[in-house]
Structure 1
Amino acid sequence: MLLYVHVPFCVSKCRYCAFASEVMDMDALEAWGKALAKEAAHYGKLLGNPTVETVYLGGGTPSLLPAWAFERLAQTLKRHFNIAPGAEFTIEANPESCVEKDLIGLWRSAGVNRVSLGVQSLQDDVLAALGRPHTAMHVHAAVERLRAAGVPNLSLDLMWGLPGQRLKGWLDTLKAAARLAPEHISAYGLTLEPGTLLAAEAEAGRLAQPGEDEASKMYVNGGDYLEEMGYMHYEISNFGRMGFFSRHNQGYWEGRAYLGLGPSAVSTIGGRRWENPRTVAAYLQAAAKSAWGSGAETLTPEVRGREMLMLALRTSRGMRLSDYKRLTGRDLAASEGKLLGALNQKGLIRIRDGSLRLTRPGMLVSNLIIGRFLFPD
C-alpha cells in the first residue's frame, strides 16, 4: 500500500497555486497534528496495521514543520502502519525552509530517503513573478545541505511555459538544474487554475504567456536535453536516472491501493474511493465526529477502465491492450482502429508488443488523445 500525508501549511500562497494550503498558524498546526493522529489510528486499526511500501509527505510545504511536529508525525505513522524495510520515504520541501541541519538530520533519522525540492525556476525574476519565497541562491544552499545530510535521492520540481519565458530561458534552467546533479527532475507545464492570482491576471490581459508553438518546443526540446543528460522520460512530466523513478507516483499510475491522510487527501482501497474535507477547519470538524471515509465511491469496472487508460498512457511503458480488454471487455484496437492508425501516422502513438504508448509529441497533447478514446464520436 502507498501512504500519502497532506501537510496543508505554507509561508504564503504562490500566485499559481490551487492546492489545499494555508498560511501556517501554530494553533492550527497543533490541531491538525492531533486530528491526523486520530485518523491514522482509525485506519491503522481498520486495515490491520497494513504494510506501507512508500510514504509521501506532500502539501503545502511539509519542510515547514518544526522538529517537534515532524517527530510526532513520524512516530504516529510508525505506530499505526508497518513501514516496510527499504520503503521510499519522500518529503516535499521548499529551498528556503531547508536551512536547519538538525531538522534535515531528523528527517533522515526518521527514514526520509527522498526529497522533492520545489525549485520551479533558477531565475530570480521568474521566481518573483510566481510569488515564490526563495531565490536561486536558496536552491544551491538547500542542495548542498541536503547532500551533506546524506540524502541519496533528490528530485527537483521545475516549471515551463511561464509568463515571459522563452525556449532559451527554459533550456538554461534545465542546464542549471542538471549541474546540481539531482537523481530526478519533474518538469510541469504551467496550468492557470481558476481562482489563482495568475489566472486572474491572464483574464485581465496582463499576462504575456508563451505561444503554443514556443511551449511545444519547450516540452519536446527540454525532454530531448534531459534524456541526453541521462534522465529517462518515464512519465509525461517526470525524468529520472535508472533506479530513481518515483516509486510512490508509479504506484498511482499502476492503479495500486493508497491511503491519504489529512485535509483534501484522497484514498483508493478495495475498489472504493473517498476524499477528505479540503480545508483545515472542515477536516478538524470531520475528525471531531470521526467521520472518516464518508461519501465513498464504489469504482465500477467502467470507471477503473477509464482510469487505467488515463493513468497508464501517462507513462513511457504505456497500457497493455489485453489488460484493458480484460477489465472493460472493450477491444480498443478493433473499436478504435481508424483513430489508432491516424495517431500512429502522425507520430503521436506507438503500438508495440501489445502495448499502446504515447510518443513525446503525443504526451504533449495527451489530454486530447485520451479524451478521444474515452469519448469516441
Structure 2
Amino acid sequence: MTTHTDRTGARPPEAVYIHIPFCTNKCFYCDFNSYVLKDQPVMDYLRALDREMELTVLENPPGEIKTIFVGGGTPTVLKPDEMAYFLKSVKRHFPNWSEDIEFSMEANPGTTDPEKLAVMREGGVNRVSFGVQAFQNELLSGIGRIHNTDDVYRSLENARAAGFENLSIDLMFGLPNQTVEMLAGSVKAALALGLPHYSIYSLKVEENTLFHTLYNRNQLPLPNEEDELAMYLLLMDSMSEAGYEQYEISNFAKPGMGSRHNITYWLNEDYYGLGAGAHGYVRRMRHMNVKGVNAYVDAIKNGLPRLHATPVTREEAMEDFMMVGLRMLEGVQTVAFREQFGVAMEDIFGQQLHKMTSAGLLEKEGAVYRLSRQGILFGNDVFGEFVGVLTEV
C-alpha cells in the first residue's frame, strides 16, 4: 500500500492519470469529458498528449512510477497503431517504473480484439477494467451501451488469452427499470467470472446528460429508495460471502487486489493528470486541463494546457484527507493525519467525529476512525460533515 507522506512536495509524484476522451457513442448517463470518435483528430490529440507529458516532467520530474491509469472516454477505441504510439509516449516520458507497477486501462466490451490487446501488453498495460454495467441486454440498451453480454464474455476471454490476469469489471445499480432481482442476476454472473476486482456504482443523474433531461420530464423510471437500498445491501452481502473485501464504498477485491491507483486518490497523494479535461494534484496544486479536443490540441502549442490551477490550502487538504480517506473501509489514521499536518485530528474535527460516532455512522478502533456498516449505507452524509468546515467564509 502507498505510504503516507507530508504535503511539502518533497517526494515526486508516483502516480499518473491519462485521459483518452474518445468513445464509440455517448451513454445516456455519462457526463465525463468524452466525445464520439467519428471525425476526431486522434493522432493530433496523441501528439499533443506526448507534448504535455514532455512539458509536465520538465516542470515536475517524476519519481519511481507505481501506478498508471488510462481512463476516458474509452481508451481502447484507439486503433492498434495509435495505441502503440500512445504507449511508447508514456514509457518515454515516464521511464522509471517500479517492478510491480500497476498499469490499468479502461475498456468497453467489444473494443478489445486480440491484436489490440497484444499491443497493450507489449506497451506495459497489465490491468484492464471493463465497463460492463449489467448482464441484462435490455438494461444495457436502456442506458445507451452498445455492447451486449456476449461481448462481455468474448472480451474477457480475449484478455485472458492475451495474458491479462488482473481484470476488473464495473457494474451499476439503481438503473432505470432495474429490479433487485436483476441486480442479483448481474452480481451472480459477475462472480461466476472469478475476477480479482469489481467496482459497483449507483447511478447518479448528472446535469448535461440525456438522463437528466428525462428525469426533469418525469420520464426516467428509477427504482425507489427502498429498492436501491436493498440493492446495495444485496451486493455488499453477496461480495462478502464470495470472499471479496469491500475496501472502498464502491469497490470490492480479493485480498491484495485493490486498485492501487485509486487508493492514491483516496489517500490524498500526488498524481499527474494528463489529457483533455484531466485533473492533477502535485505539490499542493490542483489543476484542470482544457476540455475540448481541438482546444486542448491548440493550447499545448503555448505550454501546459491548463484551464485553471489553484493552490490547495492546508485547511482544504485537511478536509480532503477526511472526505476521501473515509471512503476507504480501513478508515483514516490519526497518526497519518498528524504526520501530514502536525496537529491531532480530534483537535481539528473533534465535533464532527463525535457527532458521527454518536450517530453510529463512524466507529473508532484504536487510532483509526472508519465507517460503520450503517455509515457505509449513508457515506455521503458522513463525508458531507467535513465539507467546508475549515474553509467556509
What range is the shorter-chain TM-score in?
over 0.9
SS of match in other structure, 1:97: coil
Tell me the distance in 2 between the aligned counterparts of 1:84 and 1:328.
28
Structure 1: gaps spanning 5 or more residues? none
User: Relative to structure 2, which stretch is displaced further, 170-179 or 314-323?
Assistant: 314-323
The 3 A distance-change label for structure 1 pair 211 and 318 is same
2-side partners of 1:209 and 1:295: how far apart?
36
1:23-76 residue CA offsets vs partner (Å, 9 max, x unmatched): 114551011011001111112233335431111110000011101111111111
1:171, CA displacement in angstroms? 1.4
Q: How does 1:1-377 map onto structure 2 within 5 Å?
A: 1-25=14-38, 27-48=40-61, 50-82=63-95, 83-98=97-112, 100-293=113-306, 295-324=308-337, 327=340, 333=346, 340-341=353-354, 343-344=356-357, 346-374=359-387
Q: Which moved more, 1:24-33 or 1:6-15?
A: 24-33
Cα distance in structure 1, aligned partners of 2:189 and 2:23: 26
For structure 2, list consecutive stretches of 5 or more residues without a partner in the other structure: 1-13
- Does the CA-based 8 Å contact 1:275-1:293 persist in structure 2? yes
Relative distance call for 1:49 and 1:299 in structure 2 (3 A) is: closer
Aligned mates of 2:293, 2:329 — CA distance in 1: 37
| C-alpha distance in structure 1 between counterparts of 2:33 and 2:209, whole Å | 12
- Contact residue 52 and residue 300 of structure 2 kept, 8 A: yes
Relative to the length of structure 1, the TM-score reads 0.94
Contact 1:45–1:80 (8 Å) recurs in 2: no
Query: Greater CA deviation, 322-331 or 10-19?
Result: 322-331
Write the letter of the residue equivalent to 2:269: R
Do the aligned partners of 2:31 and 2:208 also contact (CA within 8 Å) in 1? yes
- CA shift, 1:281, in A, is 2.0
The CA deviation at 1:329 is 7.0
Q: Which moved more, 1:37-46 or 1:318-327?
A: 318-327
8 Å contact from structure 1 (residues 268, 274) kept in 2:
yes
8 Å Cα contact 1:2/1:258 also seen in 2: yes
1:74-117: CA deviation from partner (whole Å, max 9, x where unpaired): 1111111123322111110000112x211111111111110000
**Residue type of the partner of 1:193?**
E
Alpha-carbon offset, residue 284 of structure 1: 1.4
Q: Give the CA deviation at 1:361.
A: 2.7
Q: Is the 8 A contact 2:296 2:305 kept in 1?
A: no
The TM-score with structure 2 as length reference comes to 0.90
- When the two chains are superposed, the root-mean-square deviation of aligned CA atoms in Å is 2.0
Q: Aligned partners of 2:307 and 2:30: how far apart in 1?
A: 27
Match of 2:6 in 1: none
Question: What is the SS of the residue equivalent to 1:95?
Answer: coil
Post-superposition offset of 1:283 = 0.9
Q: Offset at 1:345?
A: 5.0
Q: Distance in 2 between matches of 1:92 and 1:291?
A: 25
Give the secondary-structure state (helix, strand or coil) at the position aligned to 2:386: helix
Cα distance change of structure 1 residues 21 and 339 upon mapping to structure 2, 3 Å threshold: closer
Separation in structure 1 between the aligned mates of residue 280 and residue 346 of structure 2, nearest angstrom:
32
- Supply the distance in 2 between the matched residues of 1:73 and 1:184 (Cα, whole angstroms): 26
Kindly provide the CA deviation profile for residues 191-215 of structure 1, in whole angstroms up to 9, marking residues without a partner as x: 0001111111111011111111211
Q: 1:25 to 1:35 in 2, by over 3 A?
A: farther
- The one-letter code matched in structure 1 to 2:67 is T
Structure having the larger proportion of residues in helix: 1
Specify whether residues 346 and 47 from structure 1 end up closer, same or farther in structure 2 by C-alpha distance, changes over 3 A only.
closer
Alpha carbons 1:301, 1:327 under 8 Å: kept: no
1:158-184 per-residue CA deviation (whole Å, 9 max, x = no partner) reads: 001111212221111100100011110
3-state SS in 2 of match to 1:373: coil
Rounded Cα–Cα distance in structure 1 between residues aligned with 2:21 and 2:348:
44
Query: Aligned partners of 2:244 and 2:303: how far apart in 1?
Result: 44
CA distance in 1, matches of 2:66, 2:53: 16
